[in-house]
Structure 1
Amino acid sequence: MSNSPQGGADRPGARGTDRSSARRAELIVIGRKLFADTSYDALSMDDIAKQAHVAKGLIYYYFRSKRGYYLAIVQDSVAELIARAAGGLELPPEERVHRTIDGYLRYAEHNQAAYRTIICGGVGFDAEVHAIRGSVREAIVETIAEGAYGRRKVAPLPRMALLGWLCSVEGSTLDWIDHYGLPRDLMRELLVKTLGGTMRAVEELDASYPAPRAARRDT
């Protein structure tokens, strides 16, 4: 009878898979920084391999192409940002909105290269990249809508208003992480108050979407 451990993680194949996953994740972390500091078109595969200190063939092995590598980086960054911003489902609606905005800012603050990659790095007008970026906006708009109105899917007017607010948040957050003119808590409260103004404007145009009580207190 064999005395070797029976756990799947101890099998050679499992260890190889774990190492492969870890190596892939390591390359994505490196890629976040590379694509945040340099435009997509300015980086060749040779440049990427040299700066990552790996053989070019390793990047092809995991990602097939430079575009595949970039898409994997954006998808990974988006998934992490959505997870951070969409937490706190157990909280009351008003607190959930604060938690969403705070999570968004914390992600941007502690993952600056990845945040820049999501918002402004890129492959020109590549439709798939824009679709990935659109998914993070849609997820956050739905999270805010759920906290404010109790449902993720809302009519075109409130959705457009929330999307416009979020686009302004993206620009403000990029400037904030570049200059840190405000403490995070003050930045969060500023964004919460501008969101309140957006929701009051929605209520004026469509009474079926009343602004939450917290937004009304800002008047």
Structure 2
Amino acid sequence: MNDSQQRGKTRRSRARRAELISIGRKLFADTAYDALCMDDIARQAGVAKGLIYYYFKSKRGYYLAIVEDSVAGLVARARGDTDLPNAERLRRTVDGYLQYAEHHPAAYRTIATGGVGCDAEVLAVRDAVREELVATIAEGAYGHRTLPPIARLALVGWLSAVEGTTLEWIGGPSAPDRPGRARLGALLARQLRATLAVIEEFAPECPAPPPEEGTFENVGDLAPVTGSP
């Protein structure tokens, strides 16, 4: 096999693996890990069981690959543009987070809840992504990823609220007045701004980004929340 054929085979292999991860993400989003055997997974995925073993070695390996892939996608989306002013970067981070949840609800549920059921290794992956997201917020706000304990606790509290709000948003009934992503993002960004202001009171070494650096929300998006014209 020459180099060109090898590269083609590698691309097809990666595409097939990604396809299996996408299928598995939907399966595990609604069914407990222990309730699915490899035969069930293969049948619902429409593939031979041996193909899943070939790529992932075991059911657990398959599940962890799904979680890790979901985490990578969420973190990449949330990081967004790194060359923007701090306040605008934070707004983009919130929007990127919601955009990921909106378009990948099954993957988001797996990340935010630690998967269906309780799995220590999956929970560890979830905790790692939370730490990364807190660090991303800190970098956007302060230009560095290290935080004093009081500031970290405040941001973890805000992120926990964001997770619960987002889960409700993607899973709740589609009511006529259900907020769109822009409106919800404006609400969460305003809450983040308030959190950063409180952090500054308790940790003056962590000053909130000044308003003149950018805006946390577009005025048009925020108007339905504040009642402002």
Asked if the contact 2:114/2:122 (under 8 Å) is kept, the reply is: no
Question: Residue in 1 aligned with 2:156?
Answer: 163
3-state DSSP of counterpart to 1:154: coil
Asked if the contact 1:40/1:121 (under 8 Å) is kept, the reply is: no
Amino acid paired to 1:213: P
CA drift of 1:44 comes to 1.4
Amino acid paired to 2:95: D
In 1, Cα distance between equivalents of 2:141 and 2:11: 41
1:112 pairs, out of 98, 105, 113, with 105
Asked if the contact 2:109/2:115 (under 8 Å) is kept, the reply is: no
Question: Residue in 2 aligned with 1:212?
Answer: 209
CA drift of 1:62 comes to 0.9
Residue pairs, 1:1-219, within 5 angstroms: 8=3, 10-11=4-5, 13-120=6-113, 122=115, 124-179=117-172, 181-214=178-211
Amino acid paired to 2:204: A
Q: Which runs of 5+ in 1 are unaligned?
A: 1-5
In 1, Cα distance between equivalents of 2:104 and 2:55: 23
Amino acid paired to 1:169: V
CA drift of 1:15 comes to 2.4
Asked if the contact 1:85/1:99 (under 8 Å) is kept, the reply is: yes
What TM-score, normalized by structure 2, do the two folds share? 0.85
CA drift of 1:204 comes to 2.2
3-state DSSP of counterpart to 1:211: coil
Question: RMSD of the TM alignment (CA)?
Answer: 2.0
Residue deviations 1:170-217, cap 9 Å, x none? 1100111123521111100100111122122222222222222249x9
Amino acid paired to 1:164: G
Asked if the contact 1:105/1:188 (under 8 Å) is kept, the reply is: yes
Asked if the contact 1:108/1:177 (under 8 Å) is kept, the reply is: yes
What TM-score, normalized by structure 1, do the two folds share? 0.89
Asked if the contact 2:78/2:93 (under 8 Å) is kept, the reply is: yes
In 2, Cα distance between equivalents of 1:119 and 1:50: 27
Amino acid paired to 1:194: Q
CA drift of 1:98 comes to 0.4
Q: Which runs of 5+ in 2 are unaligned?
A: 217-229
